[in-house]
Amino acid sequence: MTRALVVAPQWIGDAVMSQPLLARLAARGARITVAALPWVAPVYRACAEAADVIELPFAHGRLDWAARRRIATGLRGRFDVAYVLPNSLKSAVIPWLAGIPRRVGYAGENRFVLLNERLPNPAGRPPMVAFYSALAGGAPSKGERPLMRFDPLVVEAATASASVAPGAYWVCAPGAEYGPAKCWPADHYAELARALHARHGQPVLLLGSGKEAALCERIQAAAPGACRVLAGKTTLIDAMALIAAARGMVSNDSGLMHVAAAFGVPQAAVFGSTSPEHTPPLNPRARVVWLKDELQLDCSPCFDRVCRFGHTRCLTGVSAARVGQALDAALAAPAG
């Protein structure tokens, strides 16, 4: 049995899109341990292929050389191969210090010493699932997409804590860690929430991090009686479980969008500054709303964190009715 260490990416969406790589490795009989930062580690606890998850105690952007040496010492002799998913120099340090014989990754930031099996950096912005899966070698599988699942007891505990019944509520995730140029306007979310609640009589849960609580409170205030703010009030595990049991979800291009896709939840995903050709929700029950051509926006996708023109027309021009129609289509779509 091959003992594989996977060094995880730092963003939730990227972590979700690395699951097909884990599935490829597991299909070959590898025993997989994932080394992940604390805020993405819960994603891998929903991946059946991960036998173990090691949380890395690093602050964002810091080298933490002493801590990396300490962790590497504890990993010596435990692994045959390491797959380093991030492109940064520091992400490859632990496998190198641990003396793992095969260290696989993209060339990234000139990692010629740290990695001994390097793939060339791809041009442009390739689809992320294929980008990660390529590290396992071999031709990509057609239709490869992330698939995650929870023990039913995890879902039961999360829904009970939120006082909702599985399948009897909606989820909106109005934030995006990357920046405001990804965020569909709060008043549009509120309009959609009012419509969903009036039509179905079911609550709309607003999920996200503590940084997005104020945004969610604005949406709740504009949709009285329709919404409940849970942003910053749940663990990531509970947020993921609430998404997995939702009747449907609406979000921006974000990490939670990819979580919904991996659980096969009916979803409408609003794109603006980013491209669904790069990071689509890989889910047969997903519908993407991207009006680049319809709105005649030569600037989209710009991949900016903040709109350089100050108008964010790629998002303000997307009506609540249009997103509601996309959600209806997702609900009617058969599960894959």
- The helix/strand/coil state of 118 is strand
Q: How does residue 274 score in pLDDT terms, banded at 50, 70 and 90?
A: confident
- At 186, the pLDDT band (50, 70, 90 cuts) reads very high
Q: Specify the higher pLDDT residue, 241 or 335.
A: 241
CA pseudo-torsion sign 281, 22, 47, 54: negative
DSSP notation for 156-202: HHHHHHTT--TTS-EEEE---TT-GGGPPPHHHHHHHHHHHHHHH--
Q: What percent of the chain has pLDDT over 90?
A: 76
pLDDT digits (tens, 9 = 90+) for 28-49: 999 999 999 999 999 999 999 9
Residues 292-328: b if buried by 16+ CB within 10 A, e if exposed = beeeebeebbbebeebeeeebbbbeebebebbbebbe
Same fold, 3-136 and 153-332: yes
**Residue ranges per structural domain of the chain:** 3-136, 153-332
> Residue 328: its pLDDT value, please?
98
Residues 6+ apart with CB under 8 A from 247: 167, 168, 169, 170, 200, 202, 266, 331
The arithmetic mean of pLDDT across residues 268-286, rounded, is 91
Mean pLDDT estimate for the chain: 92
More reliable by pLDDT, 137 or 79: 79
- Could you count the other beta carbons within 10 Å of the beta carbon of residue 122? 11
Residue range 52-64: average pLDDT? 82
Q: Inform me whether the pLDDT recorded for 307 exceeds 80.
A: no
d(CA 297, CA 84): 37
Question: Tell me, what's the pLDDT at 179?
Answer: 65
More confident of the two residues 78 and 126: 78
Q: For 153-332, CATH number?
A: 3.40.50.2000
Pairing of strands 286-289, 227-229: unpaired
pLDDT exceeds 80 at position 310: no
DSSP state of 139: P
Which structure tokens are listed for 271?
A: 């794109």
**Fold classified for 3-136:** Rossmann fold (3.40.50)
Would you say residue 139 has pLDDT above 80? no
Residue 58 has pLDDT above 90, yes or no: no
